[in-house]
Structure 1
Amino acid sequence: MDKEGFRKYLTEREQPVPEEQIIANTAMVEKLEEFLKQFGKTLETAGEDEFEKFSAILVKEGTNTYLDYAGISRYAFFIQNMNLYLPVLGIFDGGEVMNVLRERLGEHAGEEVRDKILPQKDLPPLGMPDKEKILVTREIVKKMQKTLSSADCKKILADVAHGLPRDFRKGEREKYLEAGSIDEYLKRKRENAIAELEKHRDNGSLFYNQYISAEVVDYVKSRPDVLSGERRGNTIYHTKIPYMVKEYLTEKDEKMKRYYACHCAWARESILDEDVDVSDSFCHCSGGFTKQPWEAALDQPLEYDMVKSVLKGDDECSFVIYLPEGVE
């Protein structure tokens, strides 16, 4: 482990990492380095298989904290081992979803119903493998559908919105007011989204979890509903950009195409698992996430419907967001 280089990387960044975190991060990376020796691997050569084994130990020991995983992700990025970095990044993706779902159940349905559907003791640990997550999701959604109306299920899951804070998109209001109209706001939103993809394409950097090719940019440019959403009458029709776009565009197998489209770590593996069926109702979590920036921009709650979902057999996920009357 390059301790000196790692410390320099953490202290000289735009937002320096506190000393106590540097110490903890270094200790965790050293622990991983020692663990890898049994597989003949190093920090530079380790990948997803080794990380999953190590993560299982962290879960068992109770050292599966955000800080511990952050140490590994920071070091993996520092040495540019993307085969290690991306699996760790996957731990953070949607890591708070079930905790936030429990909160929303309490807010909307009451503590008694919350504890019946998702008691504190049943909250899944950070670092749970995706193939185990789908079992949790399946059972929770079943309990929700048995206990609550479909309308309440939709409302609660939409309010989870990928586990992001409710004020996460608050900056959209200012952008909308500066634009002066929905059409201009959407135009700028689209231009910025394309520009961001082109930047990642040109400098070879990650767009969340994936690298962007010229084919990916061309695909998004050809689909105005993808990524930013498209105005259709008094609605916004929004199709999610696939989770792994390059693989999605070249894949011929229908099931694998759906798998590459799905963003949800709590549901994606069910597409490939014949024995586990996660209801597409869970996709309302994504519906809430999709309408969140529009609610922030227009400063009011909005209704939406799910049009397509890979969990119900479609090859993409799409939502229609209903704009309020009289708002330009």
Structure 2
Amino acid sequence: MANSEFEKNWRDKISEAVKGMRKNVEVLFPEDDREDLVFWSKNFMKGLKDKFTPDEIREIMCSASCHYPEGSLADLHELYVNTGDLKLVHKTFESNFKREIKEYKNLTDEQVDMIIEKGWGAAGILEGNTIVATKIPKEFHKYFEACTSEERNYFYCHCPRIREMLLKNESIDIEYCYCGAGFYKDIWEKITGKKVEVKVLKSIMNDDETCSIEISILED
């Protein structure tokens, strides 16, 4: 677990965020590491809660998120700078997402329309300066073929740690899901160049059927 490239990159991001707060990274990554992903993740979150405030934990977890390809956001940023029209930018992003997700997930037009109607995926649903985005299932086709809620949750989640926990019928603090929320925070900060706040509204870790994130674009 600790030697994988994904884990190394993830821990590096966490370390940089913690160092930025002038805190000791070693309290989070002790030398007595273990290969049990569930054990490690639970103790990692315990270390965070012992040393940081809830707002700090969310900031740290957001910093560890995966990022949307920057090349796909550059044109949207330019469009926003030139027009200042968030509705236009969001609509353009939605159109781009529809085209990309259809090919990436091998979807039909009907499935793509369903995704957009539900607000699933990167674009989400825009209301004013707030966007609510619901994560799309990681394994889309298997998700809809699943027979149990446990199977659906597994095929829905994108996080390798959470998926491991689901296999073992374990759970973790909801603050962990701010890693996923950071994905959307990064998108809209890069598009608008403004400060963005995110809030986890729903999570399968809270027995919700989906994971939804509220993205608020703050005024200058």
For the criterion TM > 0.5, the same-fold answer is yes
The equivalent residue for 2:28 is 117
The equivalent residue for 1:182 is 86
The equivalent residue for 1:266 is 161
Contact 1:157 1:285 in 2 (8 A): yes
Q: How far has the Cα of 1:103 moved from its partner? A: 2.2
Letter in 2 for 1:189: F
The equivalent residue for 1:312 is 206
- For 1:134 and 1:252, locate their aligned partners in 2 and report how far apart those are by CA, in whole Å: 25
Counterpart of 2:101 in 1: which secondary structure?
Answer: helix
- For 2:156 and 2:197, locate their aligned partners in 1 and report how far apart those are by CA, in whole Å: 24
- For 1:228 and 1:256, locate their aligned partners in 2 and report how far apart those are by CA, in whole Å: 26
Alpha-carbon spacing, 1:134–1:174, altered in 2? closer, same or farther (3 Å): farther
Counterpart of 1:314 in 2: which secondary structure?
Answer: coil
Contact 1:160 1:285 in 2 (8 A): yes
Letter in 2 for 1:294: W
Contact 2:132 2:213 in 1 (8 A): yes
Identical pairs, percent: 22
Q: Which 5+ residue runs of structure 1 have no aligned equivalent?
A: 1-55, 65-90, 201-206
The equivalent residue for 1:280 is 174
The equivalent residue for 1:221 is 116
Alpha-carbon spacing, 1:194–1:93, altered in 2? closer, same or farther (3 Å): farther
Contact 1:145 1:153 in 2 (8 A): yes
Contact 1:227 1:240 in 2 (8 A): yes
Q: Which 5+ residue runs of structure 2 have no aligned equivalent?
A: none
Counterpart of 1:266 in 2: which secondary structure?
Answer: helix
Counterpart of 2:131 in 1: which secondary structure?
Answer: strand
Runs (4 or more) in structure 1 with deviation over 4 Å come to: 91-95, 167-170
Counterpart of 2:122 in 1: which secondary structure?
Answer: coil
Counterpart of 2:126 in 1: which secondary structure?
Answer: strand
Q: How far has the Cα of 1:95 moved from its partner? A: 5.4
Alpha-carbon spacing, 1:192–1:169, altered in 2? closer, same or farther (3 Å): closer
The equivalent residue for 1:106 is 19
- For 2:27 and 2:198, locate their aligned partners in 1 and report how far apart those are by CA, in whole Å: 28
- TM-score w.r.t. the length of structure 2 is 0.85
Bigger-Rg structure (1/2) = 1
The equivalent residue for 2:101 is 197
- For 1:178 and 1:233, locate their aligned partners in 2 and report how far apart those are by CA, in whole Å: 19
Matched, 1:297 2:191: yes
Q: How far has the Cα of 1:92 moved from its partner? A: 5.5
Counterpart of 1:96 in 2: which secondary structure?
Answer: helix
Using CA pairs under 8 Å that are at least 6 residues apart, name the structure with larger relative contact order, 1 or 2: 2
Q: Determine which of 150, 174, 186 is the counterpart of 2:54.
A: 150
Aligned residues: 217
- For 1:319 and 1:303, locate their aligned partners in 2 and report how far apart those are by CA, in whole Å: 10
Counterpart of 1:303 in 2: which secondary structure?
Answer: strand
- For 2:177 and 2:51, locate their aligned partners in 1 and report how far apart those are by CA, in whole Å: 18
The equivalent residue for 1:140 is 44
Matched, 1:97 2:10: yes
Counterpart of 1:277 in 2: which secondary structure?
Answer: coil
- For 2:172 and 2:196, locate their aligned partners in 1 and report how far apart those are by CA, in whole Å: 26
